[in-house]
Structure 1
Amino acid sequence: MKFLLFTALITLTIIALLIMILNLTSKKTFSDREKSSPFECGFDPKSTTRLPFSIQFFLIAIIFLIFDVEITLLFPIIISLNFSNIMMYSMVTSIFIIILIIGLAHEWKQGALNWSL
């Protein structure tokens, strides 16, 4: 117990020491409006530097991520077929896929899948 406490104390001391050294030796940058603005031959830029962001693309990307994670949850169900009976496997898989289809139908009904400009 004392050895574990001693090891934790040494580890925390080393971490604190490294953080202090990093803060002392790190490069400090002070940015102002002139240095952070884009440079166009010495003139102010004629247009904004940020492009407009499409909310439709963001929603489609989030829906894709959600359904992608749901697909990865199907893999353990496939592996569990070896350890469970076919009736229980069919019921769990059917309920899971029905929940996914209901979610997709809800997104479709809400209009989140329409790519309108």
Structure 2
Amino acid sequence: MVDLIQYLPILIFLVIALALSAAFVFLPMGVSRLTGTHNPNAEKNSEYECGFPAFEDPRSQFDVRFYLVAILFIIFDLEAAFLFPWAVSLKDTGWAGWLTMMLFLFELVVGFVYAWKKGALDWE
């Protein structure tokens, strides 16, 4: 049977992590209230990320271009995630790895050109 005292360092680590994360969240909020920099107004509380009010009818329709931009972001984010390990291991993979990555990049460029021609990147 495992002695529970062996898990004491993990418990201490979790308590310290919880205390630090709570301090990093609540300490700036408390300091801003004490120093007087907490001054909310309508402009500060307005929507700035998605472009439409967040607390409306959830069934309301909005432009599909939000989805297209999100999909393009994910595609190019994945491209960057694949390029770093590929660049590090290029010596080991040789020409086969290089050719495979060029095919992958070609497919991404074709998708990007298609999205560009369809007007997915135009914003009105």
What's the TM-score, normalizing by structure 1? 0.47
Larger of the two Rg values belongs to structure: 1
TM-score, normalisation: structure 2: 0.44
